[in-house]
Chains A and B, each alone.
Chain A
């Protein structure tokens, strides 16, 4: 399993390599990207980044994964022109979520590998087949809300058809709300009383849960008490149960996921380096355990006992 990390500054590159990153990806401000943050602002730096990465034998990819391409000061022609420039610098792949952009890229630059972003999530085998048949994607980034055992058929198909697979690291990611389809951080319809970065997925205030009240109650049924407190907790403090956990991560490793992603471009450099080091440590630990024990279940048992 290799590590892919986001990069937001040139001077992070060597430290990321030392920390254990095998590949990097970046965003460029003139190409719409999700969250629109931690970007490079001039093509000179982008060119330098690609050259330096290749000198260090690291692949480098471009994030062009914004869903709403119209929400940009650049026209589609400009976006494609900028992508062309970056491809000519020698980029190794492009991360895309919009199917229109996928189509444009494949028709203009057929040889460039395209990675399907988790913002256009693949939850089942048919969905992967759709994207593979329609756009010949080279890599799929699986959503946080899919467990390893649920993804088994997807991973097997991917291996057979030489599609690389990528997941997020469970310790830093794992939001239960389906990314790409979530409006819990938007104010499009709302009048805020308290400005909060947490979004409405944490409807509680501090330690105080939100008040809940049942309605549309089914006829002749009474609501179990534990259900009310469960709903109250979940809506107040971050949502429903997470399937991408430690155990699922181990299973993803055993099933042969190719890449582990670190993708928070808003994090400061120090935190990013530290996180990549931790990811490398965990991968090494699993490798060690699998080499030590012939039995995968035993390796798993030990992995789950270790405090990470």
Chain B
């Protein structure tokens, strides 16, 4: 099983990276940050590690920017791409990029449902469609919260999981929870004008509704899973890689 680190683009820590087999790099949630990551591709590849490029849900604006990033990517070796949009999958095929493709945390929700104690396959036929185009790795948040959490044996399916920890993704908005001015009823948006205000900080949200704190980072909401059950070999089935997230 591989160990990967999803790094913080604001502070690329060489010492932390050295401890891991693979670097996860890119914007998993927001298309407005695609250019920010594209600028640092050279630096990240200079560490000589395997790189997994994360990509978000995209509009046509993001499609253009992703095309630029993917075109740039072609000059490197030894990378994978994590996809959260079928349009991005089409783009990979269009540009003839040959690399391993993973289905990211957003898109994986169409294929798997996380329940309290286990993970369920939504529809085996859907997995087969992806299998037929050589996609059999899915990325999910660590859903193992306690000893009572059991991962279902998915050995009947030819699939592997990459599991992110410690932040569990709950939801994503298209416009930002942090940045961006409010949009009036009279304004028909051509594209989101982003000031990258998410760069300052993430936020813990304490609510009287639940015992856990919510965490808001960029345009997404998380909770933290502090359980270490992930590292109990008895519970590990079909797991290809763990991905430690420096930041949500």
Given that A131-B86, A240-B176 are contacting pairs, would A182 and B171 also be in contact in the complex, using a CB cutoff of 8 Å?
yes
B87 CB to nearest chain A CB (Å): 3
Given A100-B129, A189-B145, A205-B207, decide whether A176 and B185 contact each other with a Cβ distance below 8 A.
Answer: no
- The answer to the question of A82 belonging to the interface, with a C-beta cut-off of 8 Å to chain B, is no
Say whether A150 faces chain B, with CB atoms less than 8 Å apart: yes
Whether a CB of chain B sits under 8 angstroms from the CB of A247 is yes
Instruction: Find chain B residues with CB under 8 A from A103 CB.
Output: 125, 129
> B177 and A218: CB pair below 8 A?
no
Report the bound CA distance from A145 to B31 in whole Å: 14
List which B205-221 residues lie within 8 A (CB) of chain A.
Answer: 205-212, 214-217, 219, 221
Indicate if the CB atoms of A215 and B204 lie closer than 8 Å. Answer: yes
Q: How far is the CA of A52 from the CA of B216 in the complex (A)?
A: 49
**Chain B residue with Cβ nearest A175:** B173
Answer yes or no: A180 CB below 8 A from chain B CBs: yes
Question: Does any Cβ of A come within 8 Å of B46's Cβ?
Answer: no
Q: Give the contacting residue for B200; candidates A187, A221, A248; CB below 8 A.
A: A221
Contacts of B18 in A (CB 8 A): none
Within A196-235, which residues are at the interface with B (CB < 8 Å)?
196, 200-201, 203-205, 210-219, 221-224, 227, 230-231, 234-235
- Cross-chain contact of A189 among B106, B125, B143, B174 (Cβ < 8 A): B143
Are A184 and B221 in contact, with the CB atoms below 8 A? yes
Contact between B201 and A215, CB atoms less than 8 A apart: yes
Q: Flag B146-187 by CB within 8 Å of A: 1 or 0 each.
A: 000000000000000000000011111111111111111111
**Residue with the highest number of chain A CB atoms closer than 10 Å, among B61, B128, B176, B183:** B183
With A240-B176, A246-B185 known as contacts, the answer to whether A99 contacts B129 (CB < 8 A) is yes
Q: Which size bracket describes the interface of A in this complex?
A: 35 or more
Say how far B112's CB is from chain A's closest CB, in angstroms: 9
B206 and A127 form a contact (CB under 8 A): no
A71/B223 in contact, CB under 8 A: no
Closest Cβ–Cβ distance, residue A192 to chain B (whole Å) = 6
Determine the distance from Cα of A129 to Cα of B85 in the docked complex, in whole angstroms.
12
Residues of B near A98 (CB, < 8 A) are: 110, 122-123, 126
The reply on B236 being an interface residue by CB < 8 A is no
Tell which of B89, B122, B170, B180 touches A68, judged by Cβ atoms closer than 8 Å. Answer: B122
- When the two chains form the complex, which single residue of B181, B182, B189, B199 contacts A149, counting CB atoms closer than 8 Å? B189
A247 to B212, CA, bound (A): 38
Binds A, one of B19-27, B52-60, B74-82: B52-60
Q: How far is the CB of A98 from chain B (nearest CB, A)?
A: 5
Q: Report yes or no: B206 in contact with A126, Cβ–Cβ below 8 A.
A: no
B212 engages A150 (CB within 8 Å):
no
A120 contacts the other chain (CB 8 A): yes
Q: Closest 6 CB pairs between A and B?
A: A100-B125, A126-B87, A127-B87, A100-B126, A100-B123, A247-B188
Residues of chain A at the chain B interface (Cβ within 8 Å): 67-71, 76, 97-101, 103-104, 120-131, 145-150, 152-154, 176-178, 180-184, 187-194, 196, 200-201, 203-205, 210-219, 221-224, 227, 230-231, 234-235, 239-243, 245-248, 250-251, 304
For this complex, 17 residue pairs linking A to B, each with C-beta atoms less than 8 Å apart, are: A68-B113, A99-B110, A103-B129, A128-B87, A129-B90, A148-B188, A182-B170, A184-B171, A190-B223, A203-B214, A216-B248, A218-B11, A224-B200, A240-B219, A241-B183, A243-B174, A246-B186
- 20 further A-B pairs in the complex, CB-CB below 8 A; given A70-B120, A189-B212, A216-B217: A68-B123, A99-B129, A127-B90, A147-B189, A150-B190, A153-B60, A178-B174, A182-B172, A183-B109, A190-B210, A211-B206, A212-B204, A213-B206, A216-B202, A221-B201, A223-B200, A227-B197, A243-B183, A243-B192, A250-B188
